[in-house]
Structures are given as structure tokens and as C-alpha cells.
Amino acid sequence: MAKTYVSATINGESAEFLCETQQTLLDVLRDVIGLTGSKEGCGSGDCGACSVIVDDRLVCSCLMLGVEAEGKSITTIEGIANGDTLHPIQQKFLEYAALQCGFCTPGLIVATKALLDENPNPTETEARYWLAGNLCRCTGYDKVIRAVMDVAADMRGEKVA
Amino acid sequence: MNYIDFSLKVVGTRPIRPDGVDKVTGRAVFAADTRASGMLWGKILRSPHAHANIVSIDTTKAAALKGVFAVVTGQDFPEIASEEAFVGEGPMNFRDLSLNCMARTKVLYEGHALAAVAASTQEIADQALALIDVTYEVLPHVIDVEEAMAPGAPVLHADMFTAGVTPKPETASNISKVVTFKKGDIDAGFAEAEVIVEGRYTTQPVHQAYIEPHACLATYAPDGQVQIHSSSQGHFMIRAYVAKLLGMSISNIRVNPAEIGGGFGGKTLVYLEPVAVTLSKKSGRSVKMQMTREDVFRASGPTSGAAMTVKIGAKKDGTIVAAQQVLKFQAGAFAGSPIGPGCMCGFAMYDLPNVDVVGYDVVSNRPKVAAYRAPGAPITSFAVESLMDELAIKLGIDALTLREKNAAKNGTKTHYGPVHQNIGFTAVLDAVKAHPHWKSPLKEGHGRGLATGFWFNIGGESSAQVHVNEDGTVTAATGSPDIGGSRASIGMMVAEVLGVPATTVRTIVADTASIGFTFLTGGSRVTFATGMAATQAAEKVVEDLKRRAAQTWDIPVDAVEWKDGAAYPAGSNAGAFEPLDLAALALKAGRTGGPILAEVSINAQGAGPGFGAHICDVSVDKETGHVKIERYTAIQDVGKAIHPSYVEGQIQGGAAQGIGWALSEEYIYNSKGLMENAGFLDYRVPVASDMPMIEAVLVEVPNPRHPFGARGVGEVPIVPPMAAIANAIRSATGLRMPDLPMSPPKVRAALDAAG
């Protein structure tokens, strides 16, 4: 089967790739482009481990086709840090020990980025519902939510007690 | 050495974990992230039936498909003799495990592997699976544990004769063994009782539900050398199983531990690795395999479901005089449920004179169970701690007081043999009593439940190396896969001994060819046992560094003391020398005996048992039957928290898994014995919006057998939640929910039945 040529922006850089029409964006990221930070936990959009931001919208990359990336701007976990400077969300996850095995962590960080881009001042309930699409089996979400609330305050220039 | 009474600088602090940056940036390499030159994709054909004879498998068309490089079936795997294996966490038989990885003549559950292909792309591999022609003779199946025990049930294994009963049965059955524990005189105990309570309880199988599906990459080279990258709780375990199941020598197999995306016990055995190696051998190419989420649900894990009865007799003052329990545990398609620990853990919190426990290990047409966090204990404790609540109500005694009255203490002899020593259960109950949650008034419409839990924890074989690098920095290597922050805790113990900041020590997980044998990550053993090995290795390094300083100064070694990361002359009599720190000593290493390192391999003994108590407030929606956790406090004796954040994380995560077990998780089967909810949409693990904050309270009663006093902490927290929540629902509604999960339909039905 002929492959389709796709031109997109990935983590701020122009990217061109060929993909099968049935390949998901997740498969393209992982197997064609080699960005393996996005994880496959379910392949059905239920776990959020493959979360990416596509033109300011949080999506499960396992539910989007690679060919649909044409002309889109995609941010993956690899594009969250600024060079060798961690994004405040990443730094806060580390300080709060908001990860254990680390498998869901890329998706959670991307989803948190999307949350704070849209709502810089979420309530705890809003954060919990926004992140309800990102399964974490290790932490019980406690330290994740604390990290999210604290980094949101930091990014607003506040300090939570 | 023992540091329990020392003033500590690193242990007990909260540094950022060594592997943290890799995990927040997407750099961490999990098994599915690995690639090899010329790699193929391996996929498995799985049984669509719950129970069937394999009449024939025709792989001709699949093998002929362009892009297919190997097709294997059961015939490609050696026959393995029945032999008990001691390389995983739970009981296992090598032959069963081989048959579980690849069926030979019979499939025993939906999802049972019976053929596999390796192809150049995943799509071609899928097409090839569809071209494999299998003729089945479908057999009657059995799913429920008590139906599987009943006379006339379909028998899974013609050679299964119940062990543990005399005389040996003459007919095969689905009961693989009967386990009994007795203490005292149970009849005399009940005769003495003034109040007797009884209950029957059931739990459903639940999956460990690690977010990372099983995955591996295997390469079989023409010289017989095998390389495996795999996500598991023990790369030495993978090596041992692959060697045994494929008839290879261990020296020909090297297993590289990829990062592991959660395991909780479910990655303590093999599913894919022997298949990938066989496909690689047949194709001459590297083969990568990964399970789908459906595969994970249908063919790996879960833990047992169970049917149980409990009977407790007490005096009017609350003193328990007799305790009896019958447990029937589903093992899945092959023998080996955690019935042993199930029988041990239910009553282990209490000092009881007369105990009688009988357990049955029962096979049925479900996936073979795997260990899941304190295997068996959450199941048995749900029953016992629910009935303890009923006893408290019947006696009119506070739930905490009843437990205090009967609590196991140092010197209590358990019904399964050992005498409790250095335990902190009383301290945990004291912490419950003192906690603001326990003392706070209940809100209108809320109910409160209390339940306790026990896990014995294990030690075992571990190896650790400590290297002082040329510049004085330190590398610590161990053989324990890091499943939740153990690199941090191990590095911190090494740093404490060496007297350097935690950031000076980088901890890595070494592959099977690069470090001594290390038993798998399970039983809450790593910080205890591997931490002990690493501590001893660091102490050997300190002794060596002192010797080198003494040599440099030309003074006796006992005139050198080590403090704050440097060698000092011990007092003025030793001479006036500038201290030599790690960097200075590393610089002189070539002249003082060569590279500075120590490796310690031990079989650690003395894992201190762990106890916990959870307090839970719930509200119950009378319309929908939905139970909401309003407040949750988990109190646990952790011995000594090396890195308190990750200890709290273990407790919070364990509690969350227990909450899912209590309220929403279950395997649902249809009448054909097929699982109907093999995905995260329908198998409902807790999500962030289901959960409150979980307050983890660390009680520290040091374990004197560990250099820093640590106990295992990872398993205890999943034990109390189910009963704590059931007891809270009882408090809120007056209803006893004896069957898990306490999901909205069940709660609503119970509310309706009560009028």
C-alpha cells in the first residue's frame, strides 16, 4: 500500500514523514519518528499515557491517525522542557514525588500542561476531572494533584501555603 | 552496623530521585521503547474459547504470507517436567508455566496462547494470525470457584488430585490442594464464647492493571547467545524461567532490565519472553512483542477471587476466644493461588488462643492468577475485618477498642507458626486513636469504617555494588528493578554510610551479567534486602577508604576515622593530616590498591512484619448506590522511612488500588466463559476524580534487623481498604456488603432490599 506524505510541526520543528493510512499518530511518533516518550497503555483512548497536544487541544495520540497530523502543530512530552531546562510542571512532579513507575508520567505532564494553558487557576476538583483521562496506578493521584495545584500557583506567581 | 539511633543526614530526607528527570522528560526506556537492527514484530494467537481441545493447528497459509519469518506453536516448545519453581513470587510449576506461555493440546481460558508469528510489520503479523487455521473441540467450562469445586464440574486437568488430604483422592478434581492451620482447640474455644458472629464473603478477581502492558525484545544469535530487554519485576527471574522453559543454560542468556511501568506482583512471571526467544531462534532475527490491553486483561494476572466464611467467638468484654475461617481461592487455569498467605494473614493481627483455618486452591477456566500486592491478604482481610466490625457492633464495643483488646504484640504466637517480634501494631492503633480523623465528629449522612491489615514482608537474596569513580563520585548498582523509587532509597542509604550528599550517588539497575544474583522485586523486599546489601557494600568501601588513607599517612588503620565523606586522623595522637575526601582518595586509587569498589551479596533475613490501619469516611447516594470516599487516612508502621515521599506514595497507591478493588473493579464473564470487560473503559480502575487526598501517616517502629530500621512498606496498604470501606458503608447505611465490588448496582440492590 502506498504511504502518505505528511508535513507537520512536532515540538516546534517542522517534521515530514511517510505513514500508512491506518497508522495512529502514536505509532507514527513512536515507530516512524522515534519519539518514544508517548506511551501505549491501552490503544483505546482510556488511559491517557499517549497524551499529546495538537493545536492547543489535548488528545490521545492512539485515537488520531498519523495522516490527520498534516498541517498540525503537535507537542509531545519531548517538547515540554525548554532545552535542558525542565518545565515547571516537570520540576514540580519531581519535587512532589508525583511519579513512581513513571509510565503514565509523560501523559500526565502533557495533560497538566494543556490544563494550565486553558485554565491557569483550576480548583482541585477541576484538576481532578481534567486529569481523569490519565490513569495512574501507582500514586493514588494524591501527590500528582498536589504537584499540579502547586505548580499552577507558581506559574500564576502565587505561593500556596 | 546499625544506624537506628544515629543522627542521620540523608536517610529520612526527600531528595529528587536519580531516575526522575528521565521519567518526566520521556527519556526513560521501557521495554516497548527498545529496538534492534532488523527487528520483527511478534504476535500471539489466543484462544477464543474458555475451554477446548486443540484438534489441529494449520499454520501453512500464515507461514507462506510475505513478510512472515516464523510461526510457532506448542510443538516448538520443549516438554517440561512437572517441577515446583522457586524463582517467582508465588507458587509455580515449570510445566504449568510452559503450558501457560503456549498451550499444547488444550486451551484452558479465553486468551490462552496457542500459536505465535514474527513478521516484518505489526499489520502483517495480524494478518498472519488470521490465517492460522485452528480446529477446536469446545469443552464445558467452569468460571465460579464453588461451581468448580462441585462434583460433576468440568475438570481442567486430568492429573490433578487434591494434595493435603488423606487418603489421596482417587478421582481428579479442580481442587489442587487444601491448606490447614490450627492453633489451640477450636471447639473448646467456641464453647467458651459468649458471643458468636458468622459471615460469608466473596471477592472478585481484580487485575494489577499496571499501565504498561507486558513487552520484551529478544535476540537469539547463531551461537546460542540470547539477549532480552524486558519489563519485569526481576530480570534474574526472566533469565531463570527462559532457561528452564526453553532448555537453555543460564550463561547463554543475558537479560537487560528495562524500566518497568508498574507491576504490583503481576510482572513476577513470564508470558512473552520464551515465545519471543523461540520466534527469534526460528526467524534468525530480533523479535519484539508487546501485549495489547485486552491481552493483559485476558491472559495475564489477575489475582484470585474468593468465597469465604468466617466465624468468631468472643467473651462479652471483647476477648476473642475462637476464630475460624474457610477460604476458597480461584487459581485460574493452573494451580497456585495465594491461598497460603490467605490462610496466614487474616487473623495475623490478633492474639488468638484457638484458630482453625482451611484453604482451598481451585482451578477454573480463567487466566492463571499472578501475585498482586500482599497476595491473598486483602481477600482474607476483607472477610475477617468485616466480621470484626460486626462483632464490635454486636458487643457494643468501639471498633478500635475491640482491636486494641485483641491486638498481636511482641511474643504473640501466630496460628501459622512464627512468633511476632519487634512489631508495631499497637503503635499503629495508638496512632489511630490520636489521629484527628478518628476523633472528628461524623458529618451528617457519612459513615466511618476502620480496618487493619498485615503483611509479613520478605528478605531474600540481593546483590549490590558500590563504586567510587575516578573523581570521587559514587555509583551504586543493584540487581533490583526499580518499580517505585528504590534507586532513591538505595542511593540514600549508600550516601548516608559514605557521608556524602544523596546527589553524589547515582544508583543504577545492572543487568544479569553485570551483578550478582538478585531475587525479584516483590514481597516488599528491595529497600529492606537490597538496601541492606548496598549498605554493607558502602561500609566495605569505607573500610577500604580508611585503609587507603592510613597507607597514605603511614599510620595504623585504626587511627583513621571516617566522617562527613572524608578520612580524618582519629584524634591528635594519630598525627596532623589534612582530611582526605572521596575525590582525594579516588585520585590516589592507583597508588593505594587500584579501583575502589565493593560488591556484597547476601540472603537477607529479618524482614519485619508490617501492620496498617485505615480510617475511611464515605457517603452513599441512595438514588444511584454510588459510594463516595469523603475522607481517607492510612496509618502504617514503616519501620524507618528512608525516603518518606516514596513511602507515602506506596501507601497512597496501595490504598487507591484497594479502593478500586472495593468499589468498582471486577472481571465480568458471560455464559460462554468469555470476559466482557477487557479494557479500561469497562474495567474501572480509580481515576483522579474518584479519589480524595489520601493522608498517609508514617509510624516508625524500627526493625532492628535492618541497618536503618526499615520494613517493607509496599504491600500492607492494599490490605485494609476493602473492609474499611465496607465498614464505613455499614456505618452510613446499616447495610453489610459482603460481596465485592460494592459497585452502584449492588449497593442500590441492597438498599432496595432493605426497604
Q: Which residues of B touch A142 (CB under 8 A)?
A: 648, 652, 691, 693-694, 696
Please answer yes or no on whether A139 and B123 come within 8 Å at the CB atom: no
- Point out the residue among B33, B213, B262 whose CB comes nearest to the CB of A101: B262
Q: Which residues of B touch A109 (CB under 8 A)?
A: 24
Q: Give residue B85's pLDDT.
A: 81
Domain with residue B560: its CATH number is 3.30.365.10
Q: Give residue A160's pLDDT.
A: 54
Residue A160 domain flag: no
Residue A60 domain flag: yes
Residue B155 domain flag: no
Verify that A124 and A58 share a domain, yes or no.
no
CB within 8 Å of chain A, chain B residues 193-252: 208-213
Residue A112 domain flag: yes
What residues contact B160, with CB distance under 8 A and at least 6 apart?
Answer: B172, B173, B174, B175, B176, B335, B363
Which residue is associated with the grid cell 516546534? A12
Q: Which residues of B touch A134 (CB under 8 A)?
A: 688
- Name the region of B33 (left: φ>0; alpha: ψ -120 to 50; beta: rest): alpha
Q: Give residue A10's pLDDT.
A: 98
Q: Which residues of A touch B645 (CB under 8 A)?
A: 96-97, 143
Q: Which of A79, A104, A125 is the last residue of a domain?
A: A79
Verify that A75 and A11 share a domain, yes or no.
yes
- Per-residue pLDDT, averaged over B51-57, amounts to 98
Verify that B570 and B600 share a domain, yes or no.
yes
* Sign of the alpha-carbon torsion through B249, B251, B257, B262: positive
Contact of B628 with chain A, judged by CB distance below 8 Å, is answered with: no
Verify that B416 and B520 share a domain, yes or no.
no
Please answer yes or no on whether A39 and B210 come within 8 Å at the CB atom: no
Question: Confidence class of residue B431 from pLDDT cuts 50, 70 and 90?
Answer: very high
Q: Which residues of B touch A39 (CB under 8 A)?
A: 30, 32, 211-212, 261
Please answer yes or no on whether A97 and B646 come within 8 Å at the CB atom: yes
Peptide bond into B302 cis (omega under 30): yes
Q: Give residue A159's pLDDT.
A: 67
Residue B176 domain flag: no
Verify that B567 and B627 share a domain, yes or no.
no
- Per-residue pLDDT, averaged over B440-460, amounts to 96
- Per-residue pLDDT, averaged over B268-272, amounts to 96
Q: Which of A79, A114, A144 is the last residue of a domain?
A: A79
Residue B43 domain flag: yes
Q: Which residues of A touch B679 (CB under 8 A)?
A: 42, 44, 46
By C-alpha distance, the chain A residue nearest B481 is A101
Total domains in chain A come to 2
Alpha carbon of A71: minimum distance to chain B alpha carbons (Å) = 24
Verify that A23 and A75 share a domain, yes or no.
yes
Q: Which residues of A touch B648 (CB under 8 A)?
A: 97, 142-143
- The HSE-up count of residue B13 (CA atoms within 13 Å, CB side) is 16
Q: pLDDT tens-digit profile of B179-238?
A: 999 999 999 999 999 999 999 999 999 999 999 999 999 999 999 999 999 999 999 999
By C-alpha distance, the chain B residue nearest A103 is B261
Residue B182 domain flag: no
> In the predicted model, is pLDDT for residue B598 greater than 70?
yes
Verify that A111 and A148 share a domain, yes or no.
yes
Residue B199 domain flag: no
Question: Confidence class of residue A1 from pLDDT cuts 50, 70 and 90?
Answer: low
Please answer yes or no on whether A81 and B681 come within 8 Å at the CB atom: no
Q: Give residue B727's pLDDT.
A: 98
Verify that B72 and B90 share a domain, yes or no.
yes
The ipTM (two decimal places) reads 0.98
Verify that A92 and A38 share a domain, yes or no.
no
Domain with residue A42: its CATH number is 3.10.20.30
Verify that A52 and A101 share a domain, yes or no.
no
Verify that B364 and B513 share a domain, yes or no.
no
Verify that B464 and B444 share a domain, yes or no.
no
By C-alpha distance, the chain A residue nearest B373 is A138
Please answer yes or no on whether B688 and A44 come within 8 Å at the CB atom: no
Alpha carbon of B377: minimum distance to chain A alpha carbons (Å) = 19
Average pLDDT, chain B: 97
Under DSSP, the state recorded for B44 is E
- Point out the residue among A44, A100, A105 whose CB comes nearest to the CB of B484: A100
E-only strand ranges, B258-370: 287-290, 306-314, 320-332, 355-363
Verify that B134 and B104 share a domain, yes or no.
yes
Distances in Å between the Cα of B144 and the Cα atoms of B148, B303, B361, B635 are 6, 14, 13, 35
- Per-residue pLDDT, averaged over B352-356, amounts to 98
Q: Which residues of A touch B123 (CB under 8 A)?
A: 20, 22
Residue B204 domain flag: no
Residue B343 domain flag: yes
Cβ atoms within 10 A of the Cβ of B265, count? 29
Cβ atoms of B325 and B380 within 8 Å: the answer is yes
Q: Which domain holds residue B102?
A: 34-139+212-261+267-299
Q: Which domain holds residue A51?
A: 4-79
- In 3D space, the residue among B118, B139, B153 whose CA is nearest the CA of residue B47 turns out to be B139
Question: Confidence class of residue B74 from pLDDT cuts 50, 70 and 90?
Answer: very high
Alpha carbon of A36: minimum distance to chain B alpha carbons (Å) = 6
Domain with residue B46: its CATH number is 3.90.1170.50
Domain with residue A140: its CATH number is 1.10.150.120
Verify that A74 and A12 share a domain, yes or no.
yes
CB within 8 Å of chain A, chain B residues 478-537: 483-485
Cβ atoms of B537 and B600 within 8 Å: the answer is yes
Residue A45 domain flag: yes
Determine the residue type at A21: T
Verify that B625 and B556 share a domain, yes or no.
no
Q: Which of A19, A52, A79 is the last residue of a domain?
A: A79
Verify that B512 and B542 share a domain, yes or no.
yes
